[in-house]
Amino acid sequence: MKKFFINKFVLTLLGVLVFISCWYIIYETTGKSNATFPAPKATFDQMFVYLQDRYTYICIWGSLYRMIIGFLIAAFLAIILGCFVGNHKKTKYVLNPTIIAIKAIPTAALIFLFLRLAGLKNAPIYVVAIIVFPIVYEATVSGFNQIDKDLINSSRVDGGNSFINTLMIKFPLAFPSIGIGLISSFALSLKIEIMAEVISGSSSDGIGRAIQNAYLNSENGLVPTFAYSLIAIIVILIISLLLFFIKKFYKKVSNVA
Amino acid sequence: MKKRKILTLLLIPLILTSCSKNNGQLKILCPTGGPAIAFYKYGENSNFETTTNPQTSLIPMFQTDIYDVIVAPTNGGLAQIVKFNAQYKIAATITFGNFYIISTGRDGNNVMDEGDKVLIFQEADLPGKVFNYLYSDLKLDVTAVGNASNTKNVIENNGVLVGETTIAFDYIMTAEPIMTVTKKTPFINIQDEFFNKTGGKMLTQASIFVKNSSSKNSIDNFLVSLENDINNGVSDPDLIYNEIAKLGSNEAQSGVFGTNATIAKKITQNGNGFSLGFKRSMEIKDDIQQFVDLFPGLNLGVLDEKVFYQ
């Protein structure tokens, strides 16, 4: 087991090396100009400079803050609706067209819509919410569908009412599936948040805004843009790693259940 | 009763996000760059927002009532009022053009004339219209890119645009702060050329539009205060520097204004490179009319008195 972990770790390191080598080769072959392609070393150096700047953390917090608000709104509403649909299966067909439409609508169109409805600062919150909503909703419905019917029937025999049954029996049983839906959509939310910030061009502090400004004001080509992008990658990696462990935990719980 | 509760619940985020709107101060939206520098004292004001994407995020705001004051390209704002019945009026112009042509040094005779390769930006918008108005008779070989930031890449690449066909330009039309950021000097000041060709008319680039339903008292006080700020900032660029620098690092400053304190000061010192100023719209109606006439496609005609704030 330990050997396997070491191998996995070594392979991951190798993957990072391959990534940086590819980056370096592209830089060398595209004319060694930061204006067209950023140099790896200069980008990492710039990233370390940014990591020492308070503004970088304000931006990370700004993006995370808006993202979390959007995420929580969506998760709350999606779980409630998912529970309802899980209990009244036929309503799924009524809601399906709406859910499909929400999933299919281009994100850029959503951004334009919410720019008008909520203003520049708040538009990303709603965009994140709309993207997360169908994912969590479907995970909730799927969680309810996977519950053993015998268990539900026996709870009915015991005389529990529908609300208590949902809250105390069905919801905990469906939670591993809901959890996976929440986790899958969380890292995606940050990417959506950053993209919405870039499209809105809002002055609210955020990683998207920092990336865009670095692009517009750079005196060193694309280096600052990609330095901020690296920071965004690190943030997403940290979140993904945390979520990976949480996901693992839920899978374990799910298997036990 | 239950339905009402659910509706209230659904509206909570909307209510929460709109709470910040009414705290007595005017809510202002402004594009980054020159117009934002005019608001150098507003950097820490939570009701002051800027955007780097005016076409996407600023012009559509005329159709909402989110902002009391929108600083917009004069043609874009007036089009919203005249053609789309936006509930705003034009109150003042605060930037009078920040367009320049720089030379890449490739042109042998060093005179922009027939056959010279010129890069411009926003062909269908103000920069392109002004360029065509001034130079359409020179038979130049003109290539256009999307926006001013695209010209920056070409300037940094020694005047070469890499694409389907690689083009080496003789001249590049760009705007401040890009000219200063790329450490270039102007070959032609487009504002001066416009002034000369129109017989003394100003390039009324960005103007202040005020919402009809906003308190007149607040708007009047705001305009007086902004006029003072601009006049003081232009005559003493250190004021601009000190106020913008309060935001912290260069990145934080650029985050709000689109440029940092040092560059903003440098551009202002360098002959008021952003062309900041303050002229009440009622006083420069002819200039504004001449300006919108550059855009025949907009069909704005003769501007009605009611579009001007009094």
B104 pLDDT higher than 80: yes
Residue A52's pLDDT is what?
Answer: 92
Q: Which residues of B277-293 are buried (b: 16+ CB within 10 A; e: fewer)?
A: bbbbbeebeebbbbbbb
Q: What is each CA distance from B305 to B153, B158, B174, in whole angstroms?
A: 43, 48, 34
Using one digit for the tens of pLDDT, what is the confidence trace for A125-138? 999 999 999 999 99
SS3 content of chain B, % helix, strand, coil (to 5): 45, 20, 35
Radius of gyration of chain B (CA): 21
Q: What is the pLDDT of residue B282?
A: 93
Calculate how close chain A gets to B139, using CA atoms only, in Å.
31
Distances (CA, A) of B142 to B129, B168, B229: 13, 12, 39
pLDDT digits (tens, 9 = 90+) for A14-53: 888 999 999 999 988 887 777 778 899 999 999 999 999 9
* Chain B CB contacts of A215 below 8 Å: 149
Please state, rounded to an integer, the average pLDDT across all residues of chain B: 88
Task: Determine how β-strand B28-31 pairs with β-strand B48-51.
Answer: parallel
B56 with A116: Cβ contact below 8 A: no
Distance CA(A196)–CA(A211), nearest Å, equals 12
Q: How far is B138 from chain A (nearest CA, A)?
A: 31
Residue B194, token pair as written in the block? 């416009």
Partners of B31 in beta bridges:
B51
Are A202 and B49 in contact (CB < 8 Å)? yes
Taking residues A86-112, report their average pLDDT: 89
Helix-helix angle B261-269:B237-245, to 10 degrees: 170
Residue A90, classified by CB atoms within 10 Å of its CB into exposed (0-12), middle (13-18) or buried (19+), is: exposed
State the nearest Cα–Cα gap between A175 and chain B, in angstroms. 23
Q: What pLDDT was estimated at residue B177?
A: 83
Read off the tokens for A32. 């060694």
pTM, two decimals, is 0.80
> How many Cβ atoms are within 10 Å of A36's Cβ, its own excluded?
15
Report the phi/psi class of residue B188: left, alpha or beta, with left for phi > 0 and alpha for psi in -120 to 50. beta
Residue-wise pLDDT tens digits, B170-192: 999 999 888 888 888 899 999 99
- Higher per-residue pLDDT: A150 or A182: A182
Q: Which residues of A touch B (CB under 8 A)?
A: 33, 35-36, 50, 53-56, 58-59, 69, 73, 77, 112, 115-122, 125-126, 129, 199-205, 209-210, 212-219, 221
Enter the ipTM.
Answer: 0.72
Q: What is the pLDDT of residues B21-40, one digit of tens each?
A: 444 689 999 999 889 999 99
